[in-house]
Chains A and B, each alone.
Chain A
Amino acid sequence: MFRSLAKVADRTVQLEIEGQQVSAPVGATLWATMALHGLTRTRTASVSGQQRSAYCAMGVCFECLVEVDGMPNRQACLTQVVEGMVVKRQQITEQSHWPVEAIDNSDDPSLNALAVEVR
């Protein structure tokens, strides 16, 4: 079990991980926050569909990929928590489809232009 040996934080943020509301110190690493709350599953393995979890915690293994605010492929170990952040396990496998709708819904016009080109 992971536990914290940190000083009591002056300021905290609230975020949601896998539907659970959690609190974390300002500046905390997303992966560490997940570990402290026992929410250690990150990406789904793209071929076998098995659950995976972080391995290196320093940005070189890409096992801790999660979905942050709807955007997949975020490395939890290199991401700092932000107030209101919504984090989900990443479910993308070989069978998944390209989430074009997610891009179309963006309010950024330059991004829509790029999305059209990609299609």
Chain B
Amino acid sequence: MQASYDIAIIGAGSAGMSAAITAANAGASVVVLDDKPRAGGQIYRNVSASPLADVKALGADYLAGVDLVTEFNLCAAERHYQCLVWHVGDDGEVLFSQQGQTQSLHAREIIVSTGAMERPFPIPGWHLPGVMTAGSAQVMLKSDGVACDDAVFVGTGPLLYLIVAQYVRLGVRVKALVDTTPKSQYLSAMQHSLGVLAAPAMLLKGLSLLSEIRQADLKVYRFAEQLQVVGEDAARALRFRCGDHQVDIPTEQIFLHQGVIPNLNMTRALGLEHKWSAQQLCWQPVLDQWGQSSISNISVAGDGSGIVGAQGAACMGRLAALNLLSRLGVIDVEQRDQQSRADLAELSRLNHFRRFIDQLYRPMDAHRIPQQQDTLVCRCEEQTVAQLRAGFEKGATGPNELKGLTRCGMGPCQGRQCGHTVSELLADWRQQPVSDIGYYRLRSPQRLLTLTELSRFNRLQPAQQTVEEEAS
């Protein structure tokens, strides 16, 4: 019989690294797969090997990742990078592509820690060259030290302000920050002010970012609405309304952002039960407090479970690992409960603060549920609001029927960029809750795969003794 790993972890971000450290230090055989060249995930991307001359400009929260990455690199977990995981089965089988080869492995327990992606921002012209996400600006900075002068940053949420502040510190010229946070949300967020008191340090960090931006030499527009990217074959300007005025800002580079959502493809393809979160306006896998899903050997930790942030993700990673250690018989339930107290308390504190953030930076309905007929919803198959509406009127009332009729969600991104929009559009058209609408049914492979990769097959087995072997 071929050997299994005790635990396979998909994604070496804050959650995956924390889970691996906890599990490997306790003696479990752990394998970690990540699609990037090194550990860190999106938040701590390249923190151990930044190409930037002035890496301090990215801030203390980023540099805090150095310790976690170092500890992860020293732990006994097997680490594999540039792995595109394209299948995870409920039987514990994992298939992935690495350097043109297909690799397979088996694990008794799996932690999916594939993190978040930015929420799609379907406004007119968002598909044009020159329009990217604010997260992409940060990715380029962290991985290659590449920045873009004279860009316009648009939207709402902490990540948007963070990248603008980072650009300012690095001396990159920012043409404008167009903030879409509605005035009303500053008031409605106050109902969660107790959550702010639970994490005053987080609030101070946020306020200092905003004051840094205010003092910088850049134009800030607030309460912007009716966004539109102007241009035929590429972005030429950003158009929006500010109060009674229409504003046009000529620019060739626009960075959009309205928060992040779980990257669902793996948890959906696994067939895990999901629920619609009205607080975070996204689908989330249904999990217990340990991150265990509706399939008992599959756990989910970090932003892939719902947005918890880097600190919360680390807590979740440790909690998931402790639970699996007890399932594997390495520790007993009392030990698990005792060792998890601090993380459970920290997570609850962070979640209180999260409610405040989610309310304050709640993306506007108009930016999630596009009403302009020619706005692209599915970028891959180029399906507009009007085309989807026509499909709906022909009787395609669910995401899968609409996919079958219009091809939305059928392109290479496999619905990553249109899935949430389609769920919410259908809910709007049917005047029903999103939870009744559902999401695309996804299947493996979850990545683009060549026949060559499929024809070169290799089995990966643990180098280290597993818990099972030790017991026998």
Most buried by A among B132, B170, B234: B132
User: Can you name 21 A-B residue pairings with CB atoms under 8 Å?
Assistant: A7-B51, A28-B144, A36-B144, A36-B146, A53-B130, A54-B132, A54-B136, A55-B379, A56-B118, A56-B132, A56-B136, A57-B135, A58-B117, A60-B263, A62-B413, A77-B139, A78-B82, A78-B84, A103-B451, A110-B455, A111-B452
- How many A-B residue contacts, CB cutoff 8 Å? 145
Task: Compute how far the CA of A78 lies from the CA of B144 in the bound complex, rounded to whole angstroms.
Answer: 12
**B-chain residues with CB within 8 Å of residue A103 when the two chains form the complex:** 451
Known: A53-B130, A55-B136. A60 touches B413 (CB 8 A): yes
A57 near B382 (CB under 8 angstroms)? no
A4 located at the interface, meaning its Cβ lies under 8 Å from any Cβ of chain B in the complex: yes
B145 located at the interface, meaning its Cβ lies under 8 Å from any Cβ of chain A in the complex: yes
B22 located at the interface, meaning its Cβ lies under 8 Å from any Cβ of chain A in the complex: no
When A and B form their complex, which 9 residue pairs have the shortest distance between CB atoms, in order from nearest?
Answer: A6-B145, A53-B129, A57-B136, A32-B144, A62-B412, A6-B51, A47-B382, A62-B413, A110-B455
The count of chain A contact residues (Cβ–Cβ below 8 Å) is 53
B358 located at the interface, meaning its Cβ lies under 8 Å from any Cβ of chain A in the complex: no
Task: Compute how far the CA of A33 lies from the CA of B52 in the bound complex, rounded to whole angstroms.
Answer: 15
Known: A46-B381, A62-B411. A35 touches B146 (CB 8 A): yes
In B363-385, which residues have CB < 8 Å from any A CB?
379-382
**A-chain residues with CB within 8 Å of residue B147 when the two chains form the complex:** 2-5
B346 located at the interface, meaning its Cβ lies under 8 Å from any Cβ of chain A in the complex: no
Identity of the chain B residue whose Cβ is nearest the Cβ of A117 in the assembled complex: B451
A27 located at the interface, meaning its Cβ lies under 8 Å from any Cβ of chain B in the complex: yes
**Contact mask B401-418 → A, CB, 8 Å, 1/0?**
000000000011100110
B148 located at the interface, meaning its Cβ lies under 8 Å from any Cβ of chain A in the complex: yes
Task: Compute how far the CA of A51 lies from the CA of B131 in the bound complex, rounded to whole angstroms.
Answer: 13
A105 located at the interface, meaning its Cβ lies under 8 Å from any Cβ of chain B in the complex: no
Identity of the chain A residue whose Cβ is nearest the Cβ of B452 in the assembled complex: A111
A84 located at the interface, meaning its Cβ lies under 8 Å from any Cβ of chain B in the complex: no
**A-chain residues with CB within 8 Å of residue B129 when the two chains form the complex:** 40-41, 51-53
**B-chain residues with CB within 8 Å of residue A111 when the two chains form the complex:** 451-452, 455
B143 near A32 (CB under 8 angstroms)? yes
**A-chain residues with CB within 8 Å of residue B42 when the two chains form the complex:** 58
A96 located at the interface, meaning its Cβ lies under 8 Å from any Cβ of chain B in the complex: no
CB-contact partner of A61 in B144, B150, B172, B379, under 8 A: B379
B454 located at the interface, meaning its Cβ lies under 8 Å from any Cβ of chain A in the complex: yes
Identity of the chain A residue whose Cβ is nearest the Cβ of B170 in the assembled complex: A5
Interface residue ranges, B against A (CB under 8 Å): 35-37, 42, 51-54, 82, 84, 117-118, 127, 129-133, 135-136, 139-141, 143-150, 170, 172, 233-234, 263, 379-382, 411-413, 416-417, 448, 450-452, 454-456
A1 near B382 (CB under 8 angstroms)? no
B52 near A108 (CB under 8 angstroms)? no
Task: Compute how far the CA of A116 lies from the CA of B329 in the bound complex, rounded to whole angstroms.
Answer: 49
Identity of the chain B residue whose Cβ is nearest the Cβ of A36 in the assembled complex: B146
In A19-74, which residues have CB < 8 Å from any B CB?
25, 27-29, 31-33, 35-36, 40-41, 45-48, 50-63, 65, 71, 73
Task: Compute how far the CA of A78 lies from the CA of B52 in the bound complex, rounded to whole angstroms.
Answer: 19
Task: Compute how far the CA of A118 lies from the CA of B37 in the bound complex, rounded to whole angstroms.
Answer: 33
**A-chain residues with CB within 8 Å of residue B413 when the two chains form the complex:** 60-62
**B-chain residues with CB within 8 Å of residue A95 when the two chains form the complex:** none
Task: Compute how far the CA of A25 lies from the CA of B149 in the bound complex, rounded to whole angstroms.
Answer: 21
B450 near A71 (CB under 8 angstroms)? yes
B52 near A6 (CB under 8 angstroms)? yes
In A83-107, which residues have CB < 8 Å from any B CB?
103, 106
Apart from A7-B53, A40-B129, what 16 extra A-B contacts exist at CB < 8 Å?
A2-B146, A3-B146, A5-B170, A6-B53, A6-B145, A28-B144, A47-B381, A51-B234, A55-B127, A55-B131, A55-B133, A58-B135, A60-B263, A61-B379, A111-B451, A115-B451
Instruction: Kindly provide the distance from the CB of B115 to the nearest chain A CB, expressed in whole angstroms.
Output: 9
Identity of the chain B residue whose Cβ is nearest the Cβ of A74 in the assembled complex: B448
Task: Compute how far the CA of A110 lies from the CA of B452 in the bound complex, rounded to whole angstroms.
Answer: 8
Instruction: Kindly provide the distance from the CB of B420 to the nearest chain A CB, expressed in whole angstroms.
Output: 12
Known: A6-B53, A114-B451. A58 touches B136 (CB 8 A): yes
A57 near B411 (CB under 8 angstroms)? no
Task: Compute how far the CA of A50 lies from the CA of B379 in the bound complex, rounded to whole angstroms.
Answer: 12
Task: Compute how far the CA of A111 lies from the CA of B457 in the bound complex, rounded to whole angstroms.
Answer: 12
**B-chain residues with CB within 8 Å of residue A36 when the two chains form the complex:** 144, 146
Instruction: Kindly provide the distance from the CB of A104 to the nearest chain B CB, expressed in whole angstroms.
Output: 12
Identity of the chain B residue whose Cβ is nearest the Cβ of A77 in the assembled complex: B139
**A-chain residues with CB within 8 Å of residue B145 when the two chains form the complex:** 4-7
B452 near A106 (CB under 8 angstroms)? yes
Identity of the chain B residue whose Cβ is nearest the Cβ of A118 in the assembled complex: B451
A6 near B136 (CB under 8 angstroms)? no
Identity of the chain A residue whose Cβ is nearest the Cβ of B144 in the assembled complex: A32
A14 located at the interface, meaning its Cβ lies under 8 Å from any Cβ of chain B in the complex: no
A114 near B381 (CB under 8 angstroms)? no
Task: Compute how far the CA of A1 lies from the CA of B450 in the bound complex, rounded to whole angstroms.
Answer: 34
Identity of the chain A residue whose Cβ is nearest the Cβ of B55 in the assembled complex: A7
Identity of the chain B residue whose Cβ is nearest the Cβ of A33 in the assembled complex: B144
Task: Compute how far the CA of A16 lies from the CA of B139 in the bound complex, rounded to whole angstroms.
Answer: 23
A60 near B51 (CB under 8 angstroms)? no
Task: Compute how far the CA of A62 lies from the CA of B118 in the bound complex, rounded to whole angstroms.
Answer: 14
Identity of the chain A residue whose Cβ is nearest the Cβ of B36 in the assembled complex: A78
